[in-house]
Amino acid sequence: MDDYLLRLQREPFPNYVKERIEGEIKKIQKRSDSHTKEISEDPENDNLTEVEQKLNERHFGLKKVKKLIINYLGAKKQAGKNLGKVICLIGSPGTGKSSIARSIAEALGRPFTKASLGGVHDEGEIRGHRSTYVHAKPGIIVQALQRAKKRNPVILVDEIDSMGKSEHNGDPAAAFLEIFDPEQNENFRDHYIELPIDLSQVMFICTANDAQKIPLPLLDRMEIIEIPPYNESEKFHIAKEYLIPKLLNKYRLTKEQLDFEDPAIKKIIKDYTWEPGIRNLEKKLENIFAEFSKKKAQGDLITEKITSAKVQEYLGKPAVPDLSSEVDYDKPGVVNGLGVLNPEIGGGSVLPIEVKIFSNGEGKIITTGNLKKIMKESIEIAISYVKSAAAATKFNLNQNIFKNQDIHINMPKGDIPKDGSSAGIALTTAIISALNDKKINKDIGMTGEINLSGIVGEIGGLREKIYAAHRKKYKAVFIPKKNENDLDDIPSEIKKDKYSRLLIEAGLFAYGPTKGRVQNVLFPALIPLDLLKKEKEHVTGFSPECFFIEKIGEKRIENSLILRPTSEEGHTLHENKEEARDFALNILKVYEDYAKNTLYLGVIVGKKSEGEKFAGAIETYTVECLLPDGQCLQFATSHYFGDNFCRLMNVEFQTKDNKRQHPFSTS
């Protein structure tokens, strides 16, 4: 630049021209010095144990996420170079994506900086604008390097899914393909600086809310790590162990001055926040801190214990909508669907559906509740399936039922828009329930897409929907068979108190409300002959005492039906054979005690011989007595079946380690 200044002095230009040119040369000189000077590089901490410890200190839970991150860093360390893929953290707002990236940088000993892509549609925002443009400046990647002042920072590329494309200003995604490519990023050119920049030492971490909005070529270069939504238990621990201590420090308060009872924290989470993350939870807690600080400054309070009752004093009425309070579960046609009301922020919700049948109608289908296009299509599919089921005389329906009746389908809270295909199962069940005038258990939730054949399809957002059902303490949740593997992502503390029903075909899942621990179960009264043959294959010494039904009217049926007489009895299912056998023996003790101490019978307790035991049982235990007239009385029996009958009827349950197996039964 000094040469240019010397040449300028020799030129015969007017002074005002020389002054202008000299100013521009000095600007370029200053810019060149600031952008091209050597940027130092800090040594990296490659101790993965320390990295893992740092992540555990800063983030509660997220075991699967942390494991994937450590695996990625371990592979990168072993390869000794960039792997050609960048980490992309996918999750709803407030789930800790940026915080995780910052923790990775701190653990590695690298500087951390952020490049936000929200609303970026111009490739020049990435590559920079040429210095000849007014207000020109480097692109956001070079700006991030300037802030980091190092060659090897962690740069968080935030909201890469919100990046747009302009017809006239290039494609920002194309720039990132070059930035992320280890074969090209050693010589990345920013239009403003016009010099090659080495980005090979930079660790890029991307974040996104929705992977489907990321351009596919970019997605191929990413190591996708999903950040799951927090459940209420995790939010409680985060609030108690992280957020409240942080706010106490921020407001210079002690726990003795402002203390939160556990039920109060849980109430804030349940009644005042509706999100997969914790941003709103932190805001609500800070509202309480700010209000208390004001009262303390005014001399109104010195200390405060936040109880459940105090929460409403500080935060007002609960803010989370409870749609289930809008319907009458004592009437047929009311079913709990499960959905995600706001896909932008996430968060599962119960979506009650109510169906009303009007006789003397014209076959009209009426829908209300601010339903969008896909939801209306789901209703049309459900109606068509029910019509075809009625034509096949399924579900006790008459095919003429639609000709003279109107059906009104409503989803409460018309001010909340509702869309999506996952309500198919709930819609179908509600329609059949209303047509059959049979109530559905209010403690059941369901989600699943349905097609015209009644086949249930896979849905998204299962975690959020299960969390919503868990908040309502539902006893059972019906999900599609194709989502079975997604149950691995549901925390064990939720799965252990919930039965996940895996469905293949739509149907009426419960015939009415029950009390206590009693559940509705449909057992076949008529057994197809081929199933009985299957039982014979399973069971040694099987000799049925049965009635055979060969004809219905004058029409002979292909597969004979068996009417098998049996007594009224109770059945139990158990996780393992030891537990089942112990239960059968304990019941035997109950029988013996009743016979001896209530009926005053002299009885003998024992085990039946192989020839006498119940067909299909592994062991049959008995309580027997000799009557005064010389006859022998079998007073009671208790059977241990192993898993024979459960294999026959294909009854399965999900174990604690998420495997499927047949239970062991007794009678």
Cβ atoms 218, 90 nearer than 8 A: no
Q: 268 is written with which tokens?
A: 């804030």
Amino acid occupying residue 277: G
Q: 324 is written with which tokens?
A: 């289930």
CA angle at residue 173 from 170 to 174, to 5 degrees? 65
Q: 280 is written with which tokens?
A: 């709103």
Q: Are strands 86-90 and 222-226 parallel, antiparallel or unpaired?
A: parallel
The residue count of the chain comes to 667
Cβ atoms 431, 379 nearer than 8 A: no
Q: For residues 42 and 273, what is the distance between their CA atoms, to the nearest angstrom?
A: 42
Q: 335 is written with which tokens?
A: 């079913």
Q: For residues 628 and 664, what is the distance between their CA atoms, to the nearest angstrom?
A: 39
Dmax (CA) for the chain in angstroms is 142
Q: For residues 616 and 167, what is the distance between their CA atoms, to the nearest angstrom?
A: 73
Q: For residues 217 and 210, what is the distance between their CA atoms, to the nearest angstrom?
A: 15
Cβ atoms 402, 324 nearer than 8 A: no
3 state DSSP class of 220:
coil
DSSP H stretches of helix in 59-171: 63-79, 97-108, 124-127, 140-148
- Within 8 A by CB and 6+ apart from 115, the residues are 140, 141, 143, 144, 155, 156, 157, 158
Q: 230 is written with which tokens?
A: 């927090």
Ranges of beta strands (E only) in 453-607 are: 456-457, 476-480, 499-503, 526-528, 547-552, 555-563, 572-574, 603-607
Nearest partner of 41 among 205, 198, 206, 204, judged by Cα = 198
| Angle between helices 373-391 and 424-436 in degrees, nearest 10 | 50
Q: 164 is written with which tokens?
A: 């747009």
> At 653, which helix (H) or strand (E)?
strand 653-654
Cβ atoms 226, 64 nearer than 8 A: no
**481 labelled catalytic:** no
Nearest partner of 95 among 204, 254, 261, 229, judged by Cα = 229
Q: For residues 645 and 572, what is the distance between their CA atoms, to the nearest angstrom?
A: 12
Catalytic residue selected from 97, 235, 465, 613: 465
Q: For residues 667 and 569, what is the distance between their CA atoms, to the nearest angstrom?
A: 7
State the burial class of residue 614 (Cβ atoms within 10 Å of its Cβ: 0-12, 13-18, 19+).
Answer: middle
The distance from CA 378 to its chain's CA centroid, rounded to whole angstroms, is: 22
What one-character DSSP code corresponds to residue 461? -
**67 labelled catalytic:** no
Catalytic residue selected from 92, 349, 422, 667: 422
Phi-psi region of 346 (alpha: psi -120 to 50; beta: other; left: phi over 0): left
Nearest partner of 278 among 105, 53, 69, 61, judged by Cα = 61
Cβ atoms 496, 475 nearer than 8 A: no
Amino acid occupying residue 472: K
Amino acid occupying residue 15: N
Nearest partner of 144 among 97, 109, 112, 100, judged by Cα = 112
Active site residues: 422, 465
